[in-house]
Amino acid sequence: MKNSQSESYAAAGVDITAGYRAVELMKAHIARTMTSGVCSDIGGFGGLFELDTKGMERPVLVSGTDGVGTKLKLAFLLDKHDTIGIDCVAMCVNDVICSGAKPLFFLDYIACGKNFPEKIAAIVSGVAEGCVQSGAALIGGETAEMPGFYPIDEYDLAGFAVGIVDKPKILKPDTMEEGDIIIAIPSSGVHSNGFSLVRKVFGIGEKDITSPVAELGGKSVGETLLTPTKIYVKPILSLLEKVTVRSISHITGGGFYENIPRSLPKGFGAKIEKSALRILPIFDLIAKTGNIPERDMFNTFNMGVGMSVIVKKEDADLAVKTLHECGEDAYIMGEIVKSDEGVIFC
């Protein structure tokens, strides 16, 4: 790439040599994610991945794509860019695992006003960490420098994940029965949803979010909100080996009321014991500061539950035990009932 340089393009605000520099800085991070299926190096026109389908009757690919949303505003404000990539990976692979699929590979897309190679590499370091946590290989991506479209210090980040599952092992919510148990797997915080409301509540960009807050254990609002989204892939894969899982819900935008019903067959509802929920302090602070009604909180945020898993009643104890052994402080939060209401709090 030594001869690839355009002074005219640089004068228009696009420095292609900065892109090459960013790629070089990324390589060490990307190398951490390599798995046996990877067949290509970074820099080609497409990422190649060889499927290993041994032992599978009917392999099915499962895909997911998402971005980080306005949580990026926190990264800009705090000038911290090395964890936001974890969020991007998490939002994709946590969706893929809801089908029972194992993530295989990931691609990212970064669009920015100006390519600062060290900043881009920091973003990709977070993407790579998310891939390591989920067992996915980072096999490609794109960095687009778009002066005049994005502010010079801002960027957007999105990603795309592909997983695989044997068709007979795809989760089947239609086998659900009344009395099945709903298990909560805790979130690490707000994750990557509801940040338009969060920014309004805390006046982010206008008010101080860096001072310690007693309700948050001495952490600042900014630090707490920027906590990366938890990745649930490895614990869920372990769980799938031990018990029959009826369905899984990734609690994202829309909170309990939107996401849990997506994993329920018609005629069944999720009866949630509100007293069992371990609501994180950040959600209490959001509700208090913004004077937000409880229903709106549960209809916007994960409220401390990043993922819910539904299992047979006789498997509930083993499921919780298995998740505990994987480092997840899972607990029972409700049961399945005959109902058309979706989510019922009691």
Structure confidence by residue, pLDDT tens digits, 232-271: 999 999 999 999 999 999 999 999 999 999 999 999 999 9
User: What is the per-residue pLDDT for 66?
Assistant: 97
d(CA 311, CA 180): 6
pLDDT for 4: 64
More confident residue, 10 or 186: 186
What is the distance between the alpha carbons of residues 145 and 31, in angstroms, rounded to a whole number? Answer: 24
Q: Which residues contact 186 (CB under 8 A, 6 or more apart)?
A: 230, 278, 304, 305, 306, 328, 329, 330
Going by pLDDT thresholds of 50, 70 and 90, the confidence category of residue 177 is very high
Per-residue pLDDT, 8? 75
Query: What letters, b where the CB count within 10 A reaches 16 and e where it falls short, cover 327-338?
Result: ebebbbbbbbee
**Residue 3 — very low, low, confident or very high, per pLDDT cuts 50/70/90?**
low
pLDDT of residue 16: 79
Residue type, 242: K
Q: In this structure, what are the phi and psi dihedrals at residue 21, rounded to the nearest 5 degrees? A: -65, -40
User: Is the pLDDT at 2 greater than 60, yes or no?
Assistant: no
Band of residue 277 on the pLDDT scale cut at 50, 70, 90: very high
What mean pLDDT comes out for the span 178-189? 98
pLDDT above 80: residue 45: yes
CA distance 210 to 281: 17
* Average pLDDT over all residues of the chain: 95
Euclidean distance between CA atoms 313 and 319, whole angstroms: 10
In this predicted structure, the answer to whether residue 12 has a pLDDT above a threshold of 80 is no
Which residues sit opposite 212 in a β-bridge? 220
Least confident span in 91-95, 285-289, 340-344: 340-344
Q: What is the mean pLDDT of residues 284-306?
A: 98
Of the pLDDT bands very low, low, confident and very high (cuts 50, 70, 90), residue 200 is very high
- The backbone torsions φ and ψ at residue 47, rounded to the nearest 5 degrees and listed phi first, read -90, 130
> How far apart are alpha carbons 318 and 78 in whole angstroms?
42
Q: Hey, what are 118's tokens? A: 């060290």
Q: Are 274 and 156 in contact (CB under 8 A)?
A: no
Q: Are strands 102-112 and 331-338 parallel, antiparallel or unpaired?
A: unpaired
Sequence-ordered list of residues with C-beta below 8 angstroms from that of 317, at least 6 positions apart, any chain: none
**Helix, strand, or coil (residue 157):** strand
Enumerate residues 6+ apart whose C-beta is below 8 A from 121: 22, 25, 26, 29
If pLDDT is split at 50, 70 and 90, which confidence band does 1 have?
low
CB 155 within 8 A of CB 117: no
Which tokens belong to 331? 């607990």
Q: What is the pLDDT of residues 69-112, one digit of tens each?
A: 999 999 999 999 999 999 999 999 999 999 999 999 999 999 99
pLDDT at 18: 82
pLDDT score of 44: 80
Q: How confident is the model at residue 292 (pLDDT cuts 50, 70, 90)?
A: very high
Assess whether pLDDT exceeds 90 at residue 155. yes
